[in-house]
């Protein structure tokens, strides 16, 4: 069940799967016989990575027989390595497409939280102001049609702001990225030309823009923007602290109601409240560009991509227990964890759907 048409990005996944299989024997889940210790590998989303790094020490202290290794490798790698079996948990901001599920029907897409994506910029003298931007303007910037910060389309959204007569330097992800997926979904939802010519996926064929920069992961995006005056980038909300420490700007985005809103938890909750009732049983749904006057337009579920069938019952039990703990409002979805990364906890109805999927892991 879907609310949108999804483009496959299986060619990228296949390439990563092939590479992943080479290391399968070295990092596959450890059988229970190895001193009763279970080893799990979580890899993927750099947006989810800070949250997993908060979760794992707390959980493994409660369960000393479980070892969980975390890696921020990008959502595309997370999906691919979960499919190949290299990783037991693939972290992703993107759900698997219809085509991917058809090829890999044993995979589950389990939401763990709701995230937000910021649009950030490095504008000398203006980083303390919240510049207003829209989907069509961002599509124009990333397609090379809008090249200067004082372009009429940007000036129209920001009356009274003295915008610099300087080239815009767009920064994009070069790795398979769930952040790219949700950013390009916003562009596709708001700009028909972008939807037709480029579309949305974890990897897209970025138009050639003079001076444009590629970066790997959210940490790479922060560093690239920090060192690039007049740059613009899309960065996951769990990296808000380093963005603010670097003194970078945070844009107000135009939502479906035509209002300009900031990437706050309150505005993300407003968007989520419009969409969660539409969540299907398999939980693959876009929350991007939700209706509502206060809805922030770029939010999405953060997914654990997991195989239904695991190497042995002990590994399956460990995965189920960890994910159920992560979903628990007194465990991983507790306010102090969510607030630390500026995420929105899952509503109870979504927790119930996620627990039903977790129960399928055997």
Burial class (CB in 10 A: 0-12, 13-18, 19+), 50: buried
Residue 9 has pLDDT above 70, yes or no: no
Residue 15 has pLDDT above 80, yes or no: no
Place of tokens 């799990």: 40
Residue 18 has pLDDT above 70, yes or no: no
Question: Which residues, 6 or more positions from 185, have their beta carbon under 8 angstroms from its beta carbon?
Answer: 200, 286, 288, 289
Give, to the nearest 10 degrees, the angle between helix 178-190 and helix 75-84: 120
pTM of the model as a whole: 0.90
Cα–Cα distance measured from residue 132 to residue 262, given in angstroms and rounded to the nearest whole number: 9
- Beta strand 169-173 pairing with 213-215: parallel
Residue-wise pLDDT tens digits, 144-174: 999 999 999 999 999 999 999 999 999 999 9
Going by pLDDT thresholds of 50, 70 and 90, the confidence category of residue 105 is very high
Return the higher-pLDDT residue of 2 and 330.
330
Judge whether 329 and 259 are in contact, CB under 8 Å. Answer: no
**Phi and psi at residue 68, in whole multiples of 5°?**
-120, 120
SS3 state of residue 237: helix
Write down the pLDDT at residue 36. Answer: 83
Average pLDDT, the chain: 92
Residue 267 has pLDDT above 60, yes or no: yes
Residue-wise pLDDT tens digits, 205-244: 999 999 999 999 999 999 999 999 999 999 999 999 999 9
Closest to 194 measured CA to CA, from 3, 2, 7, 1: 7
Place of tokens 């690039």: 228
Q: How many angstroms separate the most distant Cα atoms in the chain?
A: 68
Average pLDDT rounded to a whole number, residues 96-101: 96
Residue 283 has pLDDT above 90, yes or no: yes
Counting residues of the chain whose pLDDT is more than 90, the rounded percentage is: 90
Tokens of 357: 């999927």
Write down the pLDDT at residue 81. Answer: 98
Tell me 222's DSSP state: H
Which domains does the chain possess? 10-115+302-358 (3.40.190.10), 117-275 (3.40.190.10)
Cα–Cα distance measured from residue 311 to residue 316, given in angstroms and rounded to the nearest whole number: 8
């Amino acid at each position: 069940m879907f609310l949108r048409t999804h483009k496959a990005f299986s060619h990228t996944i296949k390439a990563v799967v092939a590479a992943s299989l080479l290391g399968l024997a070295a990092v596959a889940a450890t059988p229970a016989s190895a001193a009763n210790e279970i080893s799990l590998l979580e890899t993927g989303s750099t947006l989810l990575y800070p949250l997993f790094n908060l979760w794992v020490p707390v959980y493994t202290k409660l369960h000393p027989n479980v070892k969980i290794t975390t890696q921020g490798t990008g959502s595309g790698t997370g999906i691919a390595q979960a499919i190949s079996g290299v990783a037991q948990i693939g972290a992703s901001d993107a759900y698997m497409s219809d085509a991917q599920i058809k090829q890999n029907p044993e995979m589950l897409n389990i939401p763990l939280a709701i995230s937000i994506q910021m649009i950030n910029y490095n504008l000398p003298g203006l980083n303390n102001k919240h510049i207003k931007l829209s989907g069509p303007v961002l599509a124009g910037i990333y397609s090379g049609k809008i090249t200067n910060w004082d372009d009429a389309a940007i000036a129209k959204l920001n009356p009274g702001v003295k915008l610099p007569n300087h080239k815009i330097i767009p920064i994009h992800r070069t790795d398979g990225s769930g952040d790219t997926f949700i950013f390009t979904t916003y562009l596709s939802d708001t700009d028909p030309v972008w939807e037709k010519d480029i579309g949305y996926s974890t990897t897209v064929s970025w138009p050639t823009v003079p001076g444009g920069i590629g970066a790997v992961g959210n940490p790479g995006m922060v560093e690239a923007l920090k060192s690039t005056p007049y740059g613009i980038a899309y960065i996951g909300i769990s990296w808000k602290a380093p963005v603010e420490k670097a003194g970078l700007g945070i844009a107000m985005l135009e939502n479906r109601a035509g209002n300009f809103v900031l990437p706050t938890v309150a505005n993300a909750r407003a968007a989520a409240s419009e969409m969660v009732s539409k969540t299907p049983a398999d939980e693959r749904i876009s929350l991007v560009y939700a209706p509502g006057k206060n809805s922030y337009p770029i939010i999405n579920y953060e997914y654990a991509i997991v195989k239904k069938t695991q190497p042995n019952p002990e590994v399956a039990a460990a995965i189920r227990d960890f994910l159920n703990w992560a979903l628990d409002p007194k465990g991983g979805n507790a306010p102090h964890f969510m607030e630390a990364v500026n995420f929105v906890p899952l509503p109870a109805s979504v927790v119930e759907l996620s627990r039903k999927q977790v129960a399928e892991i055997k």
